[in-house]
Amino acid sequence: MPRILGFPPVAGPNSRVMILGSMPGAASLAAGEYYAHPRNAFWPVLGRLLEMDPAAPYADRIQVLLREGLAVWDVLKSCKREGSLDSSIQAGSLMVNDFSAFLRGYPLVRNICFNGTTAETLFRKRVAQGLGPMLEGVGLFRLPSTSPAHASLSLARKTEMWRGVLTPLLA
């Protein structure tokens, strides 16, 4: 089973809210872009919330996220996985990202939103305890996954749920 490496964080000096996934899928890894699978709802949802074109060039979309105070990263730095499904991640292969260094480097991040249950579970089990006091006062919010594997909610419903969490945090 191949070991895969994730991406560095997308963050800027005014990042206040971090959106965490678990690990980039195969389409994202191949493209070198977060949420590159054409059926992933991440960019359509954020396009609606931030009034941006979800089909704009990747660099332009990233600039909108940074301008709005968003950061994007994944809980895992590396793992072994066949395909793209979180359920295919080999448990003994997990390496988490350095969130202590991230939070020191981006002190305005006071809210972490998880793009799905797996990201939240991995963070709470493998990261949160090690951060101790650094997480005091940091809001933790689970959002419905934008993955095409999580198709039980419509794009409209996902957008509504993301809006309910993100809009107050970015205000």
Q: What proportions of the chain, in percent to the nearest 5, are helix, strand and coil?
A: 40, 20, 40
| Local structure of 4: helix, strand or coil | strand
Active-site residue 115, yes or no? no
> Which residue's entry shows tokens 């006091």?
133
H/E segment holding residue 119: helix 117-126
Listed residue (24, 26, 44, 45) closest to 34, CA to CA: 24
Catalytic residue among 14, 40, 97, 115: 40
Looking only at the bridges linking them, the beta strands covering 3-5 and 76-80 are: antiparallel
Which residues are annotated as catalytic? 40
